[in-house]
Chains A and B, each alone.
Chain A
Amino acid sequence: MPSLKDLKNRIESVKSTRKITKAMQMVAAAKLRRAQDAAEQARPYAERFNAVLAGLAAGVGESESAPKLLSGTGDDKVHLLVVMTAERGLCGGFNSSIVRLARTHADKLQGEGKTVKILTVGKKGREQLRRDWGDKIVDHVDLSEVKRIGYANAADIARDLLGRFDAGEFDVATIFFNTFVSVINQEPTAQQIIPADFEAPEEGSSTLYDYEPDEEAILADLLPRGVATQIFAALLENAASEQGARMSAMDNATRNAGDMIEKLTIEFNRSRQAVITNELIEIISGAEAL
């Protein structure tokens, strides 16, 4: 049985752990609000952009001269999986759920005889994937120095991807990230970005536009930007999800620490009582022996 002093030390240590997790929870809550704000601000751009692009794609998509980014290389042998995770842990199942989805995906592709390449964004994903997919990882994007994710970060990743695509390093690219549903619910998502995959616009809802320069030139200009826009949207979703996951994980930890303190305090009081009782018995039996 632990001594009184041991118990007291443990209670103290759990208490300071609770303070830390509580602080982390509050920091995550503040960051979450900012991340959600950023995602909100970015939405109008992404929505308009995709609507215009989808309209264009529907018009040009069928023709033979359609850009490769839209029609694909005509092959789907080499798949590039872009796994976007957080730079830091302590956020519940956030990183693992993305990695798990990517793994299942990769297993399935390999089962079909396709070649899999992996590009990781965020340290945690690389650490988890390095064990059994280490030889498939072609590159890693480090965002640990980035305080606030900007469009420039997404544009850099997109430029890197497009460079690889032009060099014929892969046929299909898919990004993996967590979609923010609510603070306690983030959904791991896989989204194909190259070749671009659009939902067809509703018939009759689209206006007939004049294009300047012509449709194909605009499409060729916009598609690479579209890749960056999609990556940016995914990064923002991920950032909000990460903070949400961390907030609920730390909330749990704080509550667990509270339970632990309660249990330890009861144990401490019991042992203290036992010590007092023991002393009393000793005194009484000593007095009786006289």
Chain B
Amino acid sequence: MADTMQFDLVSPERRLASLEATAVRIPGTEGDMTAMPDHAPTITTLRPGVLTVETAGGAEEYVVTGGFAEIGSEGTTVLAEAAMPKGEVTADYMGSLLAEARDAAERAGPDGADAAAKRIADIEAVGDLIGVRAS
């Protein structure tokens, strides 16, 4: 059994990370999941959350919002709509995410209200988790 797998984190604008990982913790829509080498092929959508990548040299954390993760036989690819290394997240950035989500919530019809409210709560939870309060 392989000890590591290829992990890629890409956003629409660029590739953020490409490394050998031992485990990847993904904030899935239906709950967190950890992918390790030889995980069953899975595709899951993401909720706003913190993505943790464990490598031989330590763990790296990214804040991701939306998108999906593809766990395949060759490795794990996370396609995030917006992603940023945890250390670079600023209060302004969280603020703009939150403002966007609230904006979307206002536009959402009765069908989307629940999803929009959940999204706002998720983003707020991320802020609490990493200790950066939205400004």
Query: Are A and B interaction partners?
Result: yes
- A 140-166 contacts with B by CB, 8 A: 150-151, 154
Does A190 reach chain B (CB closer than 8 Å)? no
Does A45 reach chain B (CB closer than 8 Å)? yes
Partner of B10, one of A38, A48, A213, A222: A48
- B 28-46 contacts with A by CB, 8 A: 28-30, 33, 40-45
Given A48-B70, A207-B73: A212 and B29 within 8 A (CB)?
yes
- A 185-224 contacts with B by CB, 8 A: 207-213, 217-218, 221-222
Taking chain A's interface residues, is the majority helix, strand, or loop, or is none over half, making it mixed?
A: helix
Contacts of B77 in A (CB 8 A): 48
A-B contact count (CB 8 A): 77
CA distance A229 to B12 in the complex (A): 7
Does A225 reach chain B (CB closer than 8 Å)? yes
- Please determine whether B30 and A213 come into contact, CB atoms closer than 8 angstroms: yes
Interface size on A, residues (CB 8 A): 28
Contacts of B68 in A (CB 8 A): 52, 218, 221-222
- Please determine whether B29 and A213 come into contact, CB atoms closer than 8 angstroms: yes
Given A38-B13, A211-B44: A48 and B79 within 8 A (CB)?
yes
CA distance A232 to B79 in the complex (A): 15
Does B72 reach chain A (CB closer than 8 Å)? yes
Does A2 reach chain B (CB closer than 8 Å)? no
* Those 8 A-B pairs whose CB atoms lie nearest each other, nearest first: A41-B14, A212-B44, A151-B12, A210-B42, A45-B10, A209-B41, A207-B41, A209-B43
Q: List residues of chain A with CB under 8 Å of any chain B CB.
A: 38, 41-42, 44-46, 48-49, 52, 56, 150-151, 154, 207-213, 217-218, 221-222, 225, 228-229, 232
Q: List residues of chain B with CB under 8 Å of any chain A CB.
A: 8, 10-15, 28-30, 33, 40-45, 66-68, 70, 72-73, 77, 79, 81-82
